[in-house]
A and B are shown apart, each in its own frame.
Chain A
C-alpha cells in the first residue's frame, strides 16, 4: 500500500489481494493515516489489486463511514471488471463514486488536472 497526498487529497494505492486475511492490516494503516492527516478527500486506487472478496467491501464501507463522520468524501478508482462486479453486488456505487482511473478521480475530487 502506498499513500500520496496531493492538493489535500489522500490517494491510497492498494495492491495485491484484499481478503479477510489482509483486511485488518489494510484497515489499520488507512485509519492511522486518515487520522494523522485529518483527511477529508480520499481516493482509493484499486489499479494494482489482484483479488477482492466481500471482505474488501467491509473495508471500504468502514473507511467511508469514518470519512463521512469527518465531513469528508471517498471515491474508488481503477478496479478490474471482476472486482467491480463484487462492488456492484453490494450496491456501494450508490454511495461511493467510481472512476475508471486515478486521473479522472483526482480531477473530479479536486476540480483540477493531476
Chain B
C-alpha cells in the first residue's frame, strides 16, 4: 500500500499560483502520471488557489495551504484558506456564476475542478474560510 502526504503554505499572492501548480505536480509525479493527468491536476489546483486569492482573501494578504494525500493510486487535494468564506456554496458552484464579473472572471473555476478531478467537495462558511477537497484516481501502476 502506497501512502504519502505533504502540506505547503504560501502567501495569497498571484505570483504563487504557478508555484502551487508545480509543487503539487512534483508531489504527484510519484504516481507516474500521464501528461494529461498532470495537466488536469495542475489546472484544478490553479483554479482553487486563484479562488482563495481573489475571493477568499479579496486580494489582501493571507495564507493559502495545500494538503495532498496519496493513498494507493488516489490523490486527495485540499486547498484551504481562512478568508471570507462562501455564503451560498450552491450558487458559487453554478457554472458561469461569478461574484466578480468586473475582474473578467469567467465563473468557470468550479466547473473546471469538477471536470478535471473525480470529485469536488466545498466546505465553507461566511467569515470562516473555505476548504476545497478534490480527489483523483490515477491509472494503476500495477
Interface size on A, residues (CB 8 A): 20
Q: Encode B15-27 as 1/0 by CB contact (under 8 A) with A.
A: 1011001000000
Name B's interface SS: helix
Segment with Cβ contacts to B, from A4-12, A36-44, A53-61, A97-105: A53-61
Q: CB-CB < 8 A to B18: which residues of A?
A: 17, 19, 21
Q: Which residues A82-112 have CB closer than 8 A to chain B?
A: 82, 86, 89-90
Determine if A82 and B50 form an interchain contact, defined as CB atoms under 8 angstroms apart: no
- Provide the residues of chain A in CB contact with B46, threshold 8 Å: 19-20, 51, 53
Task: Tell me whether A19 and B112 are in contact (CB under 8 A).
Answer: no
Closest A residue to B16 by CB, please name it.
A21
Q: Are B17 and A61 in contact (CB under 8 A)?
A: no
What residues of chain B lie closer than 8 Å to A59, measured between beta carbons? Answer: 104
- A57 near B106 with CB under 8 A, answer yes
**Interface residue from B14, B21, B35, B108 paired with A54 (Cβ < 8 Å):** B108
Query: Which of B36, B39, B50 touches A55 (beta carbons < 8 Å)?
Result: B50
Inter-subunit contact A21/B104 (CB<8 Å): no
Cα–Cα, bound, A98→B115 (Å): 21
Beyond A19-B17, A89-B112, whether A58 also contacts B106 by CB under 8 A is yes
The minimal Cβ–Cβ distance linking A95 to chain B, given in whole angstroms, is 13
In the bound complex, what is the Cα–Cα distance between A54 and B42 (angstroms)? 12
A residues at B contact (CB < 8 Å): 17, 19-21, 23, 27, 51, 53-55, 57-59, 61-62, 81-82, 86, 89-90
Q: List 22 A-B contacts (CB under 8 A).
A: A17-B18, A19-B50, A20-B14, A20-B50, A21-B14, A21-B17, A23-B104, A51-B21, A53-B43, A53-B47, A53-B109, A54-B47, A54-B105, A57-B108, A58-B105, A61-B106, A62-B104, A82-B35, A82-B39, A82-B40, A86-B108, A89-B112
